Structure 1
Amino acid sequence: MPTPYFGPNAQTPEQRARVLEQMQQAIPSLRVKANVHAFVRGLYAQYVAGEVSWQQVSQALEHGFGRQRNPA
């Protein structure tokens, strides 16, 4: 359950944009996915707007892209 200290409302949009920028610098594949996929750009925009948490973004990316790389 989100609280004022955790979750999408814990930071301002400017702070979330900075966190996203730092994440993309640390994990270059996050930037590559955003450059290629409109779906990912939309997720990032929702994160910056405070509509979803980073955990929700991460889960959506894992669900949407995690299984496509390693078909068994």
Structure 2
Amino acid sequence: MAADERFGPAEQTPAQRQALLDEAQALGAAQGLPPLSPFGQRLYQRYVAGELSLAECSAQLRQRYDSA
């Protein structure tokens, strides 16, 4: 299977993407950050599924919350 260029070497599979997301959420919680909004959760589910890259998730989050 060829690597998907939208994802780095450590995020090629759904399991790898979920592990990275779990680690990021744990770090955020340890720093006292609030949990993801429902919108953010849906975006990151799409990331885990391979529909969006992290850059695409970030762009959509910025678009939604910068204009709020």
Normalised TM-score (structure 2): 0.69
Partner of 1:6: 5
Where relative contact order (Cα < 8 A, 6+ residues apart) is larger, the structure is 1
TM superposition shift of 1:55: 0.5
Structure 1 residue ranges without an equivalent (≥5): none
Work out the percentage of aligned pairs sharing the same amino acid.
29
After superposition, the Cα gap between the structure-2 partners of 1:63 and 1:42, relative to the gap in structure 1 and judged at 3 Å, is same
Structure 2 residue ranges without an equivalent (≥5): none
8 Å CA contact 1:8–1:47 kept in 2: the answer is no
Q: Does 1:25 align with 2:64?
A: no
Q: Which amino acid aligns with 2:42?
A: G
Normalised TM-score (structure 1): 0.66
Please provide the CA RMSD for this pair: 2.5
Q: Which amino acid aligns with 1:64?
A: R
d(CA) in 1 for partners of 2:19 and 2:52?
16
- The count of residues paired between Structure 1 and Structure 2 equals 62
